Amino acid sequence: MSGEPEGSGARPAPGDGWRGRWAARARTLGDAARSRTRRFWAGARPTLRQLWWTEEPATPVTTVDRRFPEPLVAPAQGQVYVFLVRATFTWSSDTARPELFGWYVDYFQPQATQRLHRLALRCAVEVPPHRPRELLSALTAALAADDPPPWTYARGEVTFACEPDVTVQLDERVRQLLQPYWERRIALECERDLARRRAEYAQERDRNDPPRPDPPRPDPPRPDPPRPDPPRPDPPRPDPAIPVRPPRDSTRPASPRRGPRPDAPTESFTPLEPLLPPPTPRPAPDQNPPPPPAR
């Protein structure tokens, strides 16, 4: 035992008793709440894992735009006529924001146009001005071999891909020169196609229609049967009252023709009066008769 009495010492401050009681009670309630929370979380965690919703990773969005610039002029062989090169540029990007996509395309478009123009100038210098197909083939081969698309352009973390699509057109002056030639060629091809189709239709009609029998040939005309000769009339019989002359002997020479006798009337004819004058023409009713001729 200590030497001091139990009742001696400082007195407890007022309120220390209820504060201690409330602190002890709070500690007890906190320990109970923590234990209950642990038990609840241990039981609810499997259920919450089944209902847990996870966001899918953001998929990059690819934005595409097409631009149609003015046709590019490429001089043809001879530097007199030109080709018109029309291009369609397809731009795409999966890193650019949609609101800034148009700004980036406007920024990269002049570079792509100049790139294609250099290829067109190099290919067109050896191509005649009336053969645009050859220039298109040469330009397509140059794009595939020397500078294959897609073309890539970058600015910072933003990248763009560009794919050009090219067509070639004639100069308007060359088009006017070639127009009569193509008009004549089209007309000839149409005539040839029409003749071919007519032959095909005729063959198809012959295959579909049954063969028609040949028309019967007319019988050759038969010769008329020989008609009997009409009976010949009997020669006239000589009249016994008329004397019959003996036949003339052809070996005896013919007697000479006798002339007229001197005392015949024909030899003794002599005109007694001269020939009368011709009659005078009769005058018209309104004319006087001409005077008679003087004797």
Poorest-confidence range of 36-50, 70-84, 137-151, 231-245?
231-245
pLDDT at 1 over 70: no
Output Rg (C-alpha) for the chain, integer angstroms.
71
**pLDDT tens for each residue of 140-154:** 999 998 888 899 999
Poorest-confidence range of 73-82, 100-109, 227-236?
227-236
Domain residues for 190?
172-207
Last residue of a domain, one of 146, 170, 194: 170
DSSP letter assigned to residue 77: T
**198 and 113 within one domain:** no
Residue 282 lies in a domain: no
**180 and 190 within one domain:** yes
Nearest to 171 by CA among 84, 288, 267: 84
How many separate domains does the chain show? 2
pTM value? 0.48
Q: In terms of pLDDT, which residue wins out, 216 or 139?
A: 139
- Give me the CATH number covering residue 114: 3.30.479
**165 and 83 within one domain:** yes
**118 and 77 within one domain:** yes
**162 and 67 within one domain:** yes
Are 151 and 112 in contact by the 8 Å Cβ rule? The answer is yes
Token look-up 């352009």 returns 153
Residue 292 lies in a domain: no
Give 80's contacts (C-beta < 8 A, 6+ positions apart): 129
**DSSP H/E element including 98:** helix 98-124
**117 and 194 within one domain:** no
**pLDDT tens for each residue of 222-263:** 777 777 666 676 666 666 666 656 656 556 555 555 555 655
| pLDDT, average across residues 206-221 | 72
